Amino acid sequence: MRAIVYNEFGGPDVLSLGHTDKPVPGPGEIRVKVVAVGVNPLDFKRRYGWVEQYYPTTFPAVPGLEFAGVVDAVGDGDGPGRVPGEPLAVGDEVFGFTSTGAYAEYALAGDIARKPAALSFEAAAALPVAGETAQRVLDLLGLKAGETLLLHGAAGAVGQVAVQLAVASGATVVGTASPANHEFLRALGAVPVAYGAGLADRVRAAAPQGVDAAFDAAGRDALPVSIALCGGATERIVTIADMQAADHGVVFSAGGTPPEQVRAGLAAHARLAVEGRLAVPVVETFALSDAAKAQELSEAGHVRGKLIIKI
C-alpha cells in the first residue's frame, strides 16, 4: 500500500511517499480503507520528536491520528477495534482514531464510531482529534453554566469545537485570535480578543466578571497571563500546547480518556455535526503525495479549521 513514512526526526523533508505492507488485523481488530485524514499540529510535533515523553515513536513511522474510511477487513473474536453492541462488517463507513498511522491507504482502527451517511468523509475526518481534545479539556476544567472561560487559540480546530461546546453548556467564552478571525468567533458565540501585548487588559475589559478557567490551545506564552487572570491559581488552567506547563504548575493534557468514553464522544459529536450544531470547516484538502505541504501549512499556524488529506 502507499503510505507516508519517516525514519528520523526532522522537518517536512523527512516525510516520503513509499510503499509498505498492509497492516493485518489481529483478533477483534478492524482494518479500514482510509478515505480522508485530518492533519493536526501534533503530527509535525511528533515528526520533530518534541512530544516523545507523551507519544513515543517507533521507526519507520506513519503519521496521522484521525481518519474516516470504510471497513476493509475484520479480525476474528473480540478486541479493541469493536464498537460495543454494534458489530461492524466489511463495507461499513466509520471514523475515529487509528493505531497504525492514518497517512496511508489502509490502517488498523483504534477507537472508532459509525460515520453517519449524512456526514461526508472529509467532515468526519475533521472531528475526532478536535472533538476529543476539546471535550477532554472542558471536562478537566469542570466548566459550568454561567462561568467564563478564557480560550487561547480559539480559531483553530480544537478551539472552534471548544467554543461551540462551552457556549452550548451555558458558559461565556473569551477567545484569543488574530483580528481577521474575530467576526468568525463572534458567529460561534465567543467574545474575541486579540492576542499579544496588553492581552490581560483586553480580557478584563471583555470579561469584567472575571475569568473562572483557562484553556490554552495555542502556546505562545499564554500560561503566565492565564494564571494572572485566574487570580494566581493554576487549578483550573489546562494546556495542550505548552510543553513547559509543569514549570508553571499547570496541567498538560495529552490524552487518557477511557476508550468507551472516546467512542461515545465520537458518536455524539457526529450527531451534533449532522444536526448543524457542531462544525469544523475544512479549509483545504491535499493529495497523499502533498502531505509535507499540509504539515508545513499546519506548522505555520493561523489555519481556521481543518486541513484534510484525501487518499
Residue 301 — pLDDT band, cuts 50, 70, 90? confident
Task: Looking at the structure, tell me whether residues 98 and 189 fall in a common domain.
Answer: no
Task: Looking at the structure, tell me whether residues 48 and 137 fall in a common domain.
Answer: no
pLDDT of residue 255: 85
Examine residue 171 and state whether it is found in any structural domain, yes or no.
yes
Q: Domain count for the chain, please give it.
A: 2
Examine residue 12 and state whether it is found in any structural domain, yes or no.
yes
Tell me, what CATH number does 75's domain have? 3.90.180.10
> Is the separation of the CB atoms in 192 and 185 below 8 Å?
yes
Q: What cell was used for 261?
A: 468514553
Tell me, what CATH number does 167's domain have? 3.40.50.720
Task: Looking at the structure, tell me whether residues 109 and 134 fall in a common domain.
Answer: no
Task: Looking at the structure, tell me whether residues 147 and 103 fall in a common domain.
Answer: no
First to last CA, the chain: 11
Task: Looking at the structure, tell me whether residues 221 and 293 fall in a common domain.
Answer: no
Q: What cell was used for 95?
A: 471514523
Domain boundary among 252, 268, 292: 252
Task: Looking at the structure, tell me whether residues 162 and 93 fall in a common domain.
Answer: no
Examine residue 262 and state whether it is found in any structural domain, yes or no.
no
Half-sphere exposure of 125 (CA within 13 A, CB side): 30
When pLDDT is averaged across residues 127-156 and rounded to a whole number, the result is 96
pLDDT tens, residue by residue, 254-292: 888 899 999 999 999 999 999 999 989 999 999 999 999
Chain mean position to CA 56: 18
Domain boundary among 252, 267, 294: 252
pLDDT of residue 64: 97
pLDDT of residue 256: 83
pLDDT tens, residue by residue, 74-132: 987 555 445 545 678 899 999 999 999 999 999 999 999 999 999 999 999 999 999 99
pTM attached to this predicted model? 0.91
pLDDT tens, residue by residue, 182-216: 999 999 999 999 999 999 999 999 999 999 999 99
Examine residue 55 and state whether it is found in any structural domain, yes or no.
yes
Residue 220 — pLDDT band, cuts 50, 70, 90? confident
Structural domain boundaries, residue 172: 130-252
Residue 217 — pLDDT band, cuts 50, 70, 90? very high
> Is the separation of the CB atoms in 5 and 60 below 8 Å?
yes
**Cα–Cα distance list, 295 to 39, 102, 179, 241, 307 (Å):** 7, 14, 24, 17, 9
Is the pLDDT score of 181 beyond 80?
A: yes
Tell me whether residue 121 is exposed, middle or buried, using C-beta atoms within 10 angstroms of its C-beta: 0 to 12, 13 to 18, 19 or more: buried
Residue 304 — pLDDT band, cuts 50, 70, 90? confident
pLDDT of residue 75: 85
Q: What cell was used for 189?
A: 458565540
Examine residue 272 and state whether it is found in any structural domain, yes or no.
no
When pLDDT is averaged across residues 23-32 and rounded to a whole number, the result is 91
Task: Looking at the structure, tell me whether residues 90 and 168 fall in a common domain.
Answer: no
> Is the separation of the CB atoms in 241 and 231 below 8 Å?
no
pLDDT of residue 23: 95
Is the pLDDT score of 141 beyond 80?
A: yes
Task: Looking at the structure, tell me whether residues 144 and 70 fall in a common domain.
Answer: no
CA angle centred on 35, ends 29 and 41, rounded to 5°: 90
Which phi and psi (to 5°) does residue 288 adopt?
-55, -40
When pLDDT is averaged across residues 9-33 and rounded to a whole number, the result is 94
Task: Looking at the structure, tell me whether residues 68 and 145 fall in a common domain.
Answer: no
Pick the residue with more confidence: 237 or 303? 237
Task: Looking at the structure, tell me whether residues 138 and 108 fall in a common domain.
Answer: no
Number of helices followed by number of strands (H, E) in the chain:
9, 14
Task: Looking at the structure, tell me whether residues 165 and 247 fall in a common domain.
Answer: yes
